[in-house]
Amino acid sequence: MGVQLHRGAIAEVVIDFPPVNAVPAAGWLALADALNAAGADPDTRVVVLAALGRGFCAGVDIKEMQATAGHDALLAANRGCAAAFAAVYDCPVPVIAAVHGFCLGGGVGLIGNADLIVAADDATVGLPEVDRGALGAATHLARLVPHQLMRTMVYTCRTVSAQDLYRFGTVLEVVPAHLLRDAARAVGREIAAKDPLVIRRAKESLNGIDPVDVKRSYRFEQGFTFELNLNGAGDRARQRFVEGGGASW
């Protein structure tokens, strides 16, 4: 349980926080550390980011936040998410996200910063942040879906399917769930066969021409989460979630 790092030319970083991969604050930092370690290894040619269990990632552990007095858990989760998302983006080699089941909230931050995505046919992606009294990762959702759909998804908390993302061209391929890791490794082998120095420079150059600074824009979004928490809206929404209440007022 936790974050697993399997080293090799095709390194694998695996998320495992049962039952739904709601990642605690320390888990986001562990994820960042694993990604940084994989990228720092000169033998690594590519990283596959995957998960065990029912879904890829349910976002932050809201129950942990509500069980912790004060703002420490919220601040730790936000800093942890920023570190993990940046670790995907800044990884010196390409990162392949292997996504199955639900990918929500912070999970969108991870796959939105990945270099490419392979998805299981049961995968869905969404940002329920508004229903949780928070904001964030629209920066990364905007890299996955058209702009107006991104806005609709933020306001309504609707999800999109892996098949939708494939039609948009942001998912490389959609495969049966039991073939997901094999499909991700197959793409990894294709990349790993290239000159490793050229691939690392290609990753650096592609980050350099990005039109949006994803780290700065995400931190801008997080500022509104802090504001919502300070005025009480964030805490009310999280408590409704913990108590099993609906999203509607």
The residue extents of the domains of the chain are 2-177+195-208
pLDDT greater than 70 at residue 73: yes
* Cα 45 from Cα 49, distance rounded (Å): 13
For residue 200, the model assigns a pLDDT of: 98
Cis peptide before 42 (omega within 30 of 0): no
Fold held by 2-177+195-208: 2-enoyl-CoA Hydratase; Chain A, domain 1 (3.90.226)
Read off the pLDDT of residues 156-165 as tens digits, 9 standing for 90 and up.
999 999 999 9
What dihedral do alpha carbons 91, 95, 100, 102 form, nearest 10°?
Answer: 40
For residue 8, the model assigns a pLDDT of: 97
Average pLDDT, the chain: 95
For residue 93, the model assigns a pLDDT of: 98
pLDDT greater than 80 at residue 247: no
User: What would the mean pLDDT of 64-73 be, rounded to a whole number?
Assistant: 82
